[in-house]
Structure formats: C-alpha cells, structure tokens
Amino acid sequence: MTGICESRVCIVTGAGRGIGREHSLMLAEQGAKVVVNDLGGGIDGEGRSTGPAQDVVDEIEAMGGEAVSNGDDISDWDGAKRLVDQAVETFGGLDVVINNAGILRDRMLTNMSEAEWDAVIKVHLKGTFAPSRHAAAYWRERAKAGEANDARIINTSSPSGIYGNVGQTNYGAAKGAIASFTIIAAKELGRYGVTVNAIAPAALTRMTENLGMGQADEATKEKLSPRWIAPIVTWLASPESREVTGRVFDVTGQALSVAEGWHRGPTAEPVDDPAALGPIVTKLVAEARPNANMFGYDES
C-alpha cells in the first residue's frame, strides 16, 4: 500500500477501539506498518483481552496492509520497552510513536479517591512518558551512530487538559501535563531528528458517550466521529510534517485549530506589601483575557 506514510513503522497505543483504531487504519491505508497496542480493558482500565488489538490487525491485513498486535501495559516501564523492541524487531526500525491509550475515572474533587487519581495519572501520563522515553533512546543511539532519523512522537492531550472540565481533575491534570511534556520534549529531541506534537481531540467514543455526547443528534454524532481525528495524526506521522514540532492541535469533525499555549498577560511592577496588592491584582485580572471554555473560546 502506498501513501504519505509509505513504509513508516508506527506504534499506536490504545489502538483497539475508537480514536486509536481510526489512527491505525488510516496509517495502514497510507502505507505504514503498524504495531497495534491495546490491553483490551474497559474505559476504567479494568480487564484485559487480546481481541480488540487483533481485530484491528485483521482489518489492516484484510486491506493488504502490514500490522502486528501488542498487549503490553504502556504505563509499565518494561512493558513500554517491549513494545518499542517489538516494532524494531518485527519491522526493522521505528519511525513514529502515537501515544493514545487512556482511561476515565471521573469524580468531583471532593469525592475522588487516591486510587482514582493514581490510575488515571499512571495510564495517561506515565503511559505517554514510558513509550516516548524508550523510543527516544532508540533514536538517540541511531543519531550517535551517524544514522539519520525522521521520527515522530504524537501525544494525546484533551480539551479537558488545556481548557478544563468539571469532574475531571485527574484526567485534566494528566492531559495538561501531556501538553507541557510535548512542548519540552520537542525542544529536547529536535537534535536527534525527532518532532513531538500533540492533539487535543473531541470525539464520540465509548469513553465520551456518557459525557453528553451520546445524546447528540445524528448530524452532530457524525461530526464527532473519531474518523475525523485520524487525518491530522496521519499527516503528523508522515515525512511532510518534519518542520512542525512542539504544537498542540485542537481537532474535531467541526474544526482543526492550533491551540495557543500560556503567554504572559497584563503585567505590573512588583510590590513588597501584600496589603497593596488588592487594586493591582483586580486591574490585572480585569485586563486579562478570560479563561477558555471547553470549546477553546473565551468564557462569556
């Protein structure tokens, strides 16, 4: 199969269903060789099955593509290493890591348990760090050996992380951290021929159907289909994107945007008397741009 990702070796985590499945299928359609990683668990991370990942592999092979399944836990250090090693050993190299795996354990902050916090942070944040770390080490060694890389890390943030959403302090904290991780990793890995970008997708999947999206009308559901997320990820995975790094793309079936990060806003001279800060801070806040709502626009 030929396309903009011809012969690119790509890992996709959480690829058995939803957005990850769409990534895998489109990458394969565009000529990539895909390592389909998925634990096959529920949206809360519980349970395990090889079925979802293998089903996607079967779909790819049925259309003439190349793929292999992987059931490792990407939030486990050794599991993430096995995933990277499998890509290299199976297809002879590694070009792209797409960190997509995630779970939900939504709860208001006053009711959230330690276990609910830890599980979400582990899967999303460590599950982004660990595969990225092992892939980066592989690319660094290639660069040291004089070999050229044209490699990609593509992470998955969320509107909950970059804009904020009630009931998701754990999920939003992890996704906001992933956006920051993306920007910093891009600065570090450019010297090795690696770009690092992220998407903040909104799509109707089994993880979001209980957040109100499942009650949308059919036309809206089509615009929220996860198939709309795959094109930007596939392009970012391709050689065409080599000049783009350190960016977070806000993407749905309704719009594709570049999310603009934190910038220094209205500023005042510092004072050493806290009693004098009231009118100063009031003026700064009044002059500052409001925080964004979940759609990325100023709250009214």
Condensed to tens digits (0 to 9), the pLDDT of residues 1-41 reads 689 999 999 999 999 999 999 999 999 999 999 999 999 86
Q: Is residue 152 domain-shared with residue 83, that is, in the same domain?
A: yes
Q: Is residue 176 domain-shared with residue 282, that is, in the same domain?
A: no
Residues with Cβ < 8 Å from 56, sequence gap 6 or more?
A: 15, 16, 21, 24, 25, 36, 38, 67, 69
Q: Is residue 244 domain-shared with residue 155, that is, in the same domain?
A: yes
Q: Which residues are catalytic?
A: 158, 171, 175
Residue 87 has pLDDT above 90, yes or no: yes
Locus of tokens 């070009």: 95
Tally of domains within the chain: 2
Strand partners, 35: 11, 68
- How large is the average pLDDT for residues 262-281? 96
- How large is the average pLDDT for residues 141-167? 97
With cut-offs at 50, 70 and 90, classify the pLDDT of residue 51.
confident
Residue 170 has pLDDT above 60, yes or no: yes
Q: Tell me the per-residue pLDDT of 113-152, one tens digit each, with 9 for 90 and over.
A: 999 999 999 999 999 999 999 999 999 999 999 999 999 9
Q: What torsion, rounded to 10 degrees, do the Cα atoms 201, 206, 210, 214 define?
A: 80
Does any domain span residue 2?
no
Q: Compute CA distances 60 → 28, 50, 99, whole Å.
A: 6, 16, 19
Q: What pLDDT is stored for residue 116 in this prediction?
A: 97
Residue 184 has pLDDT above 60, yes or no: yes
Q: For residue 163, give the nearest of 13, 36, 299, 8 by alpha carbon.
A: 299
Does any domain span residue 3?
no
Q: Is residue 151 domain-shared with residue 276, that is, in the same domain?
A: no
- How large is the average pLDDT for residues 231-237? 98
Give dist(CA 28, CA 23) in Å, integer: 9
Does any domain span residue 32?
yes
pLDDT over 90, % of the chain: 84
Q: Is residue 190 domain-shared with residue 269, that is, in the same domain?
A: no
If you average pLDDT over every residue of the chain, what do you get? 93
Give dist(CA 250, CA 246) in Å, integer: 13
Comparison of pLDDT for 175 and 214, the residue scoring more: 175
Q: What pLDDT is stored for residue 268 in this prediction?
A: 98
With cut-offs at 50, 70 and 90, classify the pLDDT of residue 47.
low
Q: Is residue 164 domain-shared with residue 275, that is, in the same domain?
A: no
Q: Which CATH number does the domain housing residue 172 bear?
A: 3.40.50.720
Q: Is residue 65 domain-shared with residue 13, that is, in the same domain?
A: yes
Does any domain span residue 78?
yes
Residue 286 has pLDDT above 60, yes or no: yes
Q: Is residue 270 domain-shared with residue 238, that is, in the same domain?
A: no
Does any domain span residue 4?
no
With cut-offs at 50, 70 and 90, classify the pLDDT of residue 48.
low
Which of 228, 243, 259 represents a domain boundary (last residue)?
259
Neighbours of 147 (CB within 10 A): 11
Helix (H) or strand (E) holding 222, with range, is helix 218-223
Q: What pLDDT is stored for residue 259 in this prediction?
A: 96
Q: Is residue 124 domain-shared with residue 183, that is, in the same domain?
A: yes
Do 10 and 237 contact (CB within 8 A), yes or no? yes
- How large is the average pLDDT for residues 179-198? 98
Q: Is residue 74 domain-shared with residue 197, that is, in the same domain?
A: yes
Q: Is residue 32 domain-shared with residue 97, that is, in the same domain?
A: yes
Q: Tell me the per-residue pLDDT of 193-228, one tens digit each, with 9 for 90 and over.
A: 999 999 999 977 555 555 555 566 666 667 778 899
Q: What is the DSSP string of 199-210?
A: EEE---STTTGG
- How large is the average pLDDT for residues 227-246? 97
Q: Is residue 282 domain-shared with residue 180, that is, in the same domain?
A: no
> Range of 182's domain?
9-259
Does any domain span residue 46?
yes
Does any domain span residue 139?
yes
Q: Tell me the per-residue pLDDT of 53-78, one tens digit each, with 9 for 90 and over.
A: 999 999 999 999 999 999 999 999 99
CB burial class (10 A; 0-12, 13-18, 19+) of residue 31?
middle
Locus of tokens 């993880």: 207
Which of 229, 244, 259 represents a domain boundary (last residue)?
259
